[in-house]
Structure formats: structure tokens, C-alpha cells
Amino acid sequence: MAVDNVTTNPHIVTAASGTVHIWQDVTKHIRLIQWVDDNQDIADGSNLILTLNGQALEATVQIETDKAAISGAVVWQIGPFPEKGFPAKSLLVGTMSAGQVYIFFA
């Protein structure tokens, strides 16, 4: 059975959600994915693991700890992809220590 939790654009996943299968076996076209530090709580060395089309992507951030945090700062992104977007049959948001993942669709 297909999983499809996408109801908005952008679709937002929070760290509190835990591991979330956003969709599976349904092709969607991604324009941009961003990891956003919404509460100034993403620490140096924090990581995010996404599984896109069955391939794991791991992002680890380096944050200058002597600098003031900026609420809403983008700490990692993939894209933007061309206007038609990147075709993805599945997306799973796995490990995310803090923050939110924004998924923008074409």
C-alpha cells in the first residue's frame, strides 16, 4: 500500500515526528529540500538522514559555536532542481536531531 502524507507545499517534517515515511510508490517531483534550524537548537555535528528513492543521504552540519544562532536559518539543502523537479518514488525522513525539514514540490 502506498504511503502519502503530503498535503501541503512545502511539506514540513519536524524532529518531534521521529522517522516518517513521507511517501512510497508514488512519483512526486521535488524542487528543493531544506533542513531549517527553527528553534536555534541544531548543535554542531548534528545530522539528518534522508532515504530518497532507496538511497540514504546523510547531512552533518558544522556550526560555528562562537557565533549567535539565527532562528530559521537553513543549515543544509539539496536543490533547487530544474523547474520540473527531481522525480522521487519514495522519501523517508530518518534521523533528525532537531529542526524541521521543508520539502518543496514542482
Q: Determine the structural domain holding residue 39 and report its residue range.
A: 19-63+70-105
Residue 9: inside a domain: no
Instruction: Assess if residue 28 is contained within a domain.
Output: yes
pLDDT digits (tens, 9 = 90+) for 72-104: 788 889 999 998 999 999 998 888 888 899 999
Q: Is residue 3 part of a domain?
A: no
Residue 21's pLDDT band, with cuts at 50, 70 and 90, is: confident
Asked if the structure places residue 25 within a domain, the reply is yes
Whether 75 is in a domain gets the answer: yes
Q: What is the pLDDT of residues 40-58, one digit of tens each?
A: 888 888 889 999 999 999 9
CA-wise closest residue to 89 among 29, 10, 18, 9: 29
Q: What is the mean pLDDT of the chain?
A: 84
In a domain, 4, yes or no: no
Please report whether residue 86 resides in a domain: yes
The domain tally of the chain equals 1
With respect to residue 5, please indicate whether it lies within any of the assigned structural domains.
no
